[in-house]
C-alpha cells in the first residue's frame, strides 16, 4: 500500500517516504532489513539511502566512516521488499563514470520492477573529491554531462547509445526512473529544470518553498519543459499533530513528496519514527 495524502490546494497527492541509514552502526544487514520491511508494513511509499564513499577521520562523527554503497544498498533493498519504492538522496554524479552509473541505474530499475527513485547531486566534500582524484571545480560540468548521458540512455528512440565515439546497445532499457536534482542554489534549480523530472531540496520549510518553486518553474519555462515534482527531505516535530501540520503546509506549498530524514539509534527507534508518520498521515486524512 502506498502512503498518499491529498493536498488541500492543488488536488495532487503527497507521497511519504523515510530515510533508511546505510551508514554508521545502523547499516548492518539485520538492522537495514528490519527497517526496510517495517517501512513497507507501515505503508510508507519509499525508503531512501544516502551517498558517501570516502569519509576522512576528522569528518566521521555520526557514521564512524562506515557507509554501505548506495546503489548496492538499493539493489539489495529492492530484493528484500515487494512494493515499496527505493530511492537515493542524493547520488553524487561526479564520483562515478557515466556508463557504469547508467548500467547500475538501469539494472536496479529493471530488477526492482520500476521502483527506483533517483535523486542526484554534484557533491561538496573536498576530501572525498581528492580521494577520488576528481576536480571539485569541475563537478557541475561533470554532473551535467552525466545527466545528459542518462537521458540519452533512457529517452532515446532505440537502444543504441554512443559513449566516447563508440556505439553500443543499452540493454536492459527499462522505463526511466524519475530523476530528482538536489540543491537549493539557482544553478541547482536550473539543472533540475534542464535535466530532471523534479527538484529535491533538503530542509526546505513551507514558508520558503513557494518562492523557490516559482524560481524553479521559471527555469522550466525557459527550458521548454513542464514543471516537475518537488521532493522535500527534512525532519518533523515529534508530536503527531505538529508533524501533520508541517506535512500539510508543505503539501499546500507545492511539495509532492516528503522524505523524513534524521538519525535513529536502532530498529526500535526507527519504528517509533514510522509510528509518528503513520499517526501524522491519519490526522491529515481525517
Domain limits, the chain: 4-285
For residue 8, the model assigns a pLDDT of 31
The CATH topology of domain 4-285 is TIM Barrel (3.20.20)
Kindly report, residue by residue over 16-64, the tens digit of the pLDDT.
999 999 999 999 999 999 999 999 999 999 999 999 998 888 877 778 8
Kindly report, residue by residue over 119-140, the tens digit of the pLDDT.
999 999 999 999 999 999 999 9
Using CA atoms, how far apart are residues 70 and 23, in angstroms rounded to an integer?
A: 10
For residue 174, the model assigns a pLDDT of 98
Residue 12 pLDDT more than 80? no
Mean pLDDT of 94-120: 98
Mean pLDDT of 108-128: 97
For residue 3, the model assigns a pLDDT of 38
For residue 27, the model assigns a pLDDT of 97
Residue 5 pLDDT more than 60? no
For residue 17, the model assigns a pLDDT of 98
- Angle, vertex CA 70, rays to CA 133 and CA 40, nearest 5: 170
For residue 286, the model assigns a pLDDT of 80
Cβ atoms of 253 and 209 within 8 Å: the answer is yes
Query: How much is the mean pLDDT over the chain?
Result: 94
Kindly report, residue by residue over 79-88, the tens digit of the pLDDT.
999 999 999 9
For residue 13, the model assigns a pLDDT of 74
Strands 198-200 and 229-234: parallel
Amino acid at each position: 500500500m502506498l502512503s498518499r495524502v491529498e493536498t488541500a490546494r492543488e488536488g495532487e497527492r503527497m507521497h511519504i517516504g523515510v530515510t533508511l541509514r546505510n551508514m554508521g552502526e545502523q547499516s548492518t544487514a539485520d538492522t537495514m532489513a528490519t527497517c526496510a520491511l517495517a517501512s513497507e508494513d507501515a505503508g510508507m511509499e519509499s525508503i531512501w539511502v544516502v551517498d558517501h564513499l570516502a569519509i576522512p577521520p576528522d569528518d566521521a562523527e555520526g557514521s564512524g566512516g562506515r557507509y554501505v554503497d548506495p546503489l548496492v544498498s538499493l539493489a539489495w533493498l529492492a530484493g528484500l521488499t515487494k512494493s515499496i519504492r527505493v530511492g537515493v538522496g542524493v547520488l553524487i554524479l561526479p564520483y562515478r563514470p557515466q556508463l557504469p552509473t547508467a548500467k547500475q541505474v538501469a539494472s536496479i530499475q529493471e530488477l526492482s520492477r520500476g521502483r527506483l527513485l533517483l535523486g542526484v547531486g554534484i557533491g561538496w566534500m573536498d576530501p572525498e573529491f581528492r580521494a577520488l582524484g576528481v576536480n571539485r571545480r569541475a563537478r557541475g560540468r561533470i554532473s551535467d554531462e552525466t545527466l545528459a548521458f542518462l537521458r540519452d540512455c533512457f529517452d532515446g528512440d532505440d537502444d543504441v547509445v554512443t559513449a566516447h565515439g563508440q556505439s553500443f546497445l543499452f540493454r536492459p532499457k527499462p522505463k526511466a526512473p524519475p530523476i530528482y536534482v538536489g540543491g537549493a542554489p539557482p544553478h541547482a534549480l536550473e539543472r533540475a529544470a534542464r535535466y530532471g523530472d523534479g527538484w529535491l531540496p533538503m530542509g526546505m520549510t513551507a514558508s520558503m518553498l513557494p518562492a523557490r518553486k516559482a524560481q524553479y518553474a521559471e527555469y522550466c519555462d525557459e527550458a521548454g519543459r513542464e514543471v516537475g515534482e518537488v521532493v522535500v527531505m527534512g525532519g518533523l516535530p515529534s508530536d503527531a499533530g505538529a508533524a501533520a501540520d508541517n506535512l500539510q503546509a508543505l503539501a499546500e506549498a507545492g511539495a509532492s513528496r516528503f522524505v523524513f530524514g534524521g538519525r535513529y539509534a536502532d530498529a526500535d527507534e526507527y519504528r517509533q519514527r514510522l509510528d509518528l508518520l503513520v499517526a501524522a498521515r491519519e490526522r491529515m486524512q481525517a
